[in-house]
Amino acid sequence: MYQYYTTTLMFAGNVRAQDEPHFWACPHLPADGFDEYIKTPDGGMRILNYPQQEASVDDQNGTGGHTDFECFIMIVNQDDCGGLEVLSESGSWIRAKPVPGSLVVNIADCFMRQTNDFFVSTVHRVVNKSGRERYSVSLSLRLRSDQEA
């Protein structure tokens, strides 16, 4: 698990402006404005388990709607059960179907603040309607703690 965490953290530190210019484009910052902050990111990895359960009528089994505190949450692995949902601007929950080999990145509260709300935190929840246990692995990323934002 440690090797998986280390590899994922190194990958996250390499996603910089030259690689993903559209993602990092923020009108009030230079194109490479976040490079120093993400060069050696900090983060915590969690293995998440959502037990087998019957979905409730109000879809509240699992994890209720929320945003995350850090800068980014990368869902680096999820099984094929599904369950991740994202709140649209119109207030509807949209299912984020698992795509093999993909990476889900949620913008979190700290990054929203650091970009003066240019990027907005992703309101999301997990509702396990699969009838079986659901597993996913998430990595919470923080910018370098020794850098002043």
Q: Mean pLDDT over all residues of the chain? A: 78
At 124, the pLDDT band (50, 70, 90 cuts) reads: very high
Note the pLDDT tens digit of each residue in 22-37.
Answer: 566 676 777 677 677 6
pLDDT at position 89, please?
A: 92
Report, as an integer, the average pLDDT of 73-95. 85
Any idea which of 34-43, 64-73, 113-122 has the lowest mean pLDDT? Answer: 34-43
Note the pLDDT tens digit of each residue in 62-73.
Answer: 788 999 988 777
pLDDT at position 46, please?
A: 86
Distances (CA, A) of 100 to 58, 64, 79, 89, 135: 29, 25, 9, 26, 14
* Residue ranges covered by each domain of the chain: 41-142
pLDDT at position 77, please?
A: 72
pLDDT at residue 141 greater than cutoff 60: yes
Q: Is 111 in contact with 119 (CB distance < 8 Å)?
A: yes
pLDDT at position 126, please?
A: 87
pLDDT at position 58, please?
A: 63
Report, as an integer, the average pLDDT of 80-93. 90
CATH class label, 41-142: mainly beta
Report, as an integer, the average pLDDT of 43-58. 76
Q: Choose between 44 and 38: higher pLDDT.
A: 44
Distances (CA, A) of 53 to 46, 48, 61, 65, 81: 21, 15, 8, 18, 12
Q: Is 84 in contact with 72 (CB distance < 8 Å)?
A: no
Q: Is 136 in contact with 79 (CB distance < 8 Å)?
A: yes
